[in-house]
Amino acid sequence: MSTTLNLKNFSFETDADGIALLTWDMPDRSMNVITQEVMSELEQVIDTVVADAAIKGCVIVSGKKDSFSGGADLTMMEGFGGQLAKMIKSDGYEKAMQFFFDGTRSLSVLYRKLETCGKPFVAAINGVALGGAFEMALACHYRVLSDSDKTRVGLPEVKVGLFPGAGGTQRVARLMQTGDALQMLFKGDQLRPAAAKSMGLVHEVVPAADLVAKAKAWIAAGGKGIAPWDDPKFRNPSGKVFSPAGMMVWPAANAIYRRETQDNYPAIKAILHAVYEGLQLPMDLALKVESRWFAKILRSPEARAMIRTLFISMGELNKGARRPANIPPSAPKKIAVLGAGFMGASIAYVSALAGIEVVLIDRDQESADKGKQLSHKLMTDQIMKGRAKTAQRDELLARIEATPDYSKIVDCQMVIEAVFEDRAVKAEATRKAQEFLSPDAVFASNTSTLPITSLAENYSRPDHFIGVHFFSPVERMMLVEVILGKKTGDKALAMALDYVRAVRKTPIVVNDSRGFFANRCVLNYILEGHLMLMEGVPAAMIENIAKKAGMPVGPLSLNDEVALDLGWKILQAAKKDLGPQAVDANQEKLLEEMVVKQGRLGRKNGKGFYDYPEKGQKKLWPGLGALQPKHLDPDTLDREELQQRLLVTQALEAARTVEDHVIVDPREADVGSILGFGFAPFTGGVLSMIDGMGAAKFVALCQKLEAKYGARFKPCALLLDMAAKGETFYGRFGAAKKAA
């Protein structure tokens, strides 16, 4: 039996038992998202279910394979901000703010209408249900998940500078112990079905084939359309906020917030406020409190920057914003990886994980087998954590052929060269490979610093030669730099981008130069840490100031991870190619002492700026103090200036990469800086930081630092021009500007 409704994004039908099935299946979209139209249609359904006495309740399910919904369309939220600015001018501040508040809480109001309509609603979720979609499920009276490996639920809004503003903070905090609820909301992790059930967020986990039947059975058995918190007898899981138990939670929560965020993320602080205040109120008032905090955070510069970079720009790059439109899809089904060392073996693993056949080549069978063993280890780790099955490991390993025989690559559509970072070694691997490759194959070099144009000179078809720079550890890092040589053609670019997306990474396209984009910025960050150390700044202060500035790790810790001897080799190569003036004498002195004289190479040999005991946590090497020419009193140092130095040096180098035409699209600099080296995400990325500050103010800061610390902080000509004209990077170089 069906009911006539004006629905475009849903289908609605009622069975013989009077139970409605609402199937969400948006046309022309691979995943359901919450839009104004979806909200309007859902409200129609709620009204219909309430008005029809023959309908006992409603089950909401997705018509998409392996996904329920990714949540709200954040461009809709961003649109409220644009409308607000216009309304303030036309209608005045008070009326505009009321419009903004009403608009940003409309989803929360809709979910509360569903929750209090009196009829039972069940969310039957197969696949991904995140953000506003999971908040919809939390507003339903019963939640059933499929046990599929692809099913995930969660509230990841904090990762784009927001927080769950459609009731998420209030419902989660009433379903779980307060400390657990705050931890979940702070992290924004995606939860597997079993974890969601054990946390009390969902009621059942069942086979996908039984999903709808189980949901309907709950309604048929007399399931009630009342949320637990609307029952007068309801008590919060952790009791009252102002109670001995409550006071065990909040001081610790505030301390954890400050430790983990350095007070850089207003959205996470707003979660603390919303939960703390909301738990003291009835649900309707609590939701209003949440909405007020949500409206405030949506207007914050941090949220605007993070939404633009980590949602809009990253989405556009993942969908092929820089892919040549004239080349048909060309993702390779079989590739070769030259070099079975740590990087090559990791690239083979992520490729095989994506279903791609891999020929993994090294100098002898033992070395190739050792590289393949990494895939076995990584999959075994997943099995031990319950995230994979033995059969999946066997299938993945079957896709990797480890061999020293180059002739095995004859039918590969793409080769990724990941041998030692040495021109002669790379040239030899290139020569051996091209003997067997078809004319249509694409050759990609995974180099971190060597210019692609010069490496392509060793390949007979330079238009098919490209750079594909992975970041370590490959299985965890989400960014890949795709580097264009001067002769790289569209086909090579298209295949490289298709491959990067196939292995579930985000690509940025950069033009050729020494160090490309990411390493130019990262090396400046490490340099600044080295110079601070040689100035006499305590090592612990350098590391902690970096975290306070928003970096995931300090420059000394980062240098240990990438290896000190690599930094020493890069320094010596730059000195050889560009002359002594290309390196800083103080940095060279420090690295020579650490690497050459002390044999401290970083984490890889258990000793660098830190010591790495077999058991226990790493600790700063006590001998660092002896390497410092002098020791400054930390109480006399300007902490804000130290933070500025660590961020400005990276942002300034990013501006230079734009001036050098290495970066041609500001989206790629911002996305690349956050995903590639963790640049303070709350700024929106290196160029968004400059745009947010304003070019004139940023130039003035650079000039102040230049006067005190030297020419490395000298603003480039591009920045001076932008400051004089009042321009931004997105205004001058943005996608819309280029399209025009």
Known catalytic residues are 469
Contact partners, residue 9, CB within 8 Å, separation at least 6: 24, 25, 26, 27, 32, 37, 38, 41
Q: How far apart are CA 212 and CA 506, in angstroms?
A: 35
Largest CA distance in the chain: 85
Contact 458, 433 (CB under 8 A): no
Helix (H, G, I), strand (E, B) or coil at 415: strand
Q: How far apart are CA 201 and CA 480, in angstroms?
A: 36
Q: How far apart are CA 291 and CA 494, in angstroms?
A: 44
Q: Residue 218's Cα: distance from chain center in Å? A: 38
Cα Rg of the chain (Å, integer): 28
Helices (H), 210-265: 211-220, 246-261
Contact partners, residue 37, CB within 8 Å, separation at least 6: 8, 9
Concatenated DSSP letters for 149-190?
Answer: TT-EEE--GGGGT---TTTHHHHHHHHS-HHHHHHHHHH-PE
Give the residue from 283, 6, 274, 266 showing the smallest Cα distance to 138: 283
- Show the tokens assigned to 337: 């990886």
Concatenated DSSP letters for 59-75?
Answer: EEEESSTTEEE--B-HH
Helix (H, G, I), strand (E, B) or coil at 575: helix
Helix (H, G, I), strand (E, B) or coil at 124: strand
- Show the tokens assigned to 62: 């997705």
What angle, rounded to 10 degrees, do the helices at 639-659 and 686-693 form? Answer: 110
Concatenated DSSP letters for 577-597?
Answer: HH-GGGS-HHHHHHHIIIIII
Q: CB 584: neighbour CB atoms within 10 A?
A: 16
Give the residue from 190, 210, 216 showing the smallest Cα distance to 20: 216
- What beta strand segments (E) does 408-532 contain? 414-417, 442-445, 465-470, 479-484, 506-511
Q: How far apart are CA 543 and CA 554, in angstroms?
A: 4
Strands 142-146 and 121-125: parallel
- Show the tokens assigned to 469: 């720079």
Query: Looking at this protein, which amino acid is placed at residue 147?
Result: D
Q: CB 413: neighbour CB atoms within 10 A?
A: 20
- What beta strand segments (E) does 15-141 contain? 19-24, 57-62, 67-69, 121-125, 128-130
Helix (H, G, I), strand (E, B) or coil at 126: coil
